[in-house]
Amino acid sequence: MPDPGLSPLPAHLPAAAARLGADVLARALAGPAAEAPAPEAAPRWIPGGPSGLGTSSVSFARPAPPPVPDGPPDPAAAPSAAPAAEGRPIPGLYFHPVPDPDPARVDEVSRRIKDWAVDEVQLYPEEWEGQFDGFSVGRYMVACHPDAPTVDHVMLATRLMVAENAVDDCYCEDHGGSPIGLGGRLLMAHTALDPLHTTPEYAPAWAESLGSDAPRRAYRSAMEYFTAAASPSQSDRYRHDMARLHMGYLAEAAWAETDHIPEVWEYLAMRQFNNFRPCPTITDTVGGYELPADLHARPEMQRVIALAGNATTIVNDLYSYTKELSSPGVHLNLPVVLAEREKLSERDAYLKAIEVHNDLMHAFEAAAAEVAAAFPVPTVLRFLKGVATWVDGNHYWHQTNTFRYSLPDFW
């Protein structure tokens, strides 16, 4: 079971202790941030570096070398994981470079997740195998969780990531998804995460429904593994964040049904729910410890987690821009909404979306520094670093996954 960590500090810390927490964090975690150089053609209003309280010297995501895998992968059984590709970072985007994830651990996670997807939950038909391999989820999750003590811990996040994508693809997007009737499908799938408590007469029909399609099978299995390793509080936290995600899916679907292009602020509100938040919020479970519930629930920490989710989601908007433009219909992303609502060219809308991302990143780092100063508790500092590492690992995966993403020709 995860280590419950330390008790929360008193509400009013002495000022000296708060300053000490910030100084220690800055010294321990500082490292050079990177901003992809913007060519001369890029507008000057893209911010050039961190701003706000504490961000001039604090970088949380300086991952230690990853632990050694739990054992050598079986060469005969392991699929060939998609190789890391250089990729090209988006010019002008503010991000922190991370080391390439440990290849032995990537291979082992890739082998295990494919075995789970094929043998345990029958996730996809044979013709989707290339897309599954091209997703490179093993490299993604190892990059995002370098402090996970074992491959089993990385697998907790990996199964959930694959299950979430199965729901998105099969219910909402590429593989038969539709906004019509989405609410009913999502609600039934959510009961695989948050079980139905009903009468003996009707419980068997619900239990049978959990195996009726690939998304529900994946949700049920991934959640069973997760709850076996997580505390009840951590499991309930994840369920709550998944309900947020599903509400975001429904908002986007409602707009699609009415051909509504939201205002920019409305789009950003939707993206605060339809985003990556469930992934970094489990960083302590994957790390083998627990951030106490009362510290996780503090509004200051909730702001940090929300900003992390918002920034990483705009990264997805930017790197998937050309992929989404080539798909049928209007696919909402931040550049598309900016172009429509602020009457910008495609290029200027894309470049302004970079500015929005950078502002969110700076706000995230400033908020994290404030929490670190106010609560210099080991579990708090480790959790903040874990969330920031997830943010950076998410960018790394988007940048290097050239199987899925390419940049527009705007520079």
Q: Is the CB of residue 276 less than 8 Å from the CB of residue 140?
A: no
Q: Taking 90 as the threshold, does the pLDDT of residue 191 lie above it?
A: yes
pLDDT band, residue 23 (cuts 50/70/90): very low
Report the C-alpha gap between 196 and 188 in whole angstroms: 9
Q: How many helices (H) and strands (E) does the chain have?
A: 17, 2
Q: Is the CB of residue 391 less than 8 Å from the CB of residue 61?
A: yes
Residue of 173, 166, 231 lying closest to 192 (CA atoms): 166
Q: Taking 50 as the threshold, does the pLDDT of residue 64 lie above it?
A: no
Q: Taking 70 as the threshold, does the pLDDT of residue 309 lie above it?
A: yes
pLDDT band, residue 78 (cuts 50/70/90): very low
Q: Is the CB of residue 21 less than 8 Å from the CB of residue 375?
A: yes
Average of pLDDT values for 279-296? 97
Tens-digit pLDDT profile for residues 226-256: 999 999 999 999 999 999 999 999 999 999 9
In Å, what is the CA distance from 397 to each residue of 155, 219, 388, 390, 409?
17, 23, 14, 10, 20
pLDDT band, residue 176 (cuts 50/70/90): low
Q: Is the dihedral of CA 173, 176, 179, 185 positive or negative?
A: negative
| Residue 94 DSSP SS3 | strand
pLDDT band, residue 174 (cuts 50/70/90): low
Q: Model-level pTM?
A: 0.82
Burial of residue 32, with CB atoms counted within 10 A of its CB: 0-12 exposed, 13-18 middle, 19 or more buried: exposed
Residue of 315, 290, 308, 299 lying closest to 380 (CA atoms): 290
Residue of 156, 62, 70 lying closest to 105 (CA atoms): 70
Report the C-alpha gap between 329 and 229 in whole angstroms: 41
**Residue 95 dihedral angles phi and psi, to the nearest 5°:** -160, 170
pLDDT band, residue 87 (cuts 50/70/90): confident
Tens-digit pLDDT profile for residues 26-37: 433 444 455 555
Q: Is the CB of residue 332 less than 8 Å from the CB of residue 261?
A: yes
pLDDT for residue 34: 54
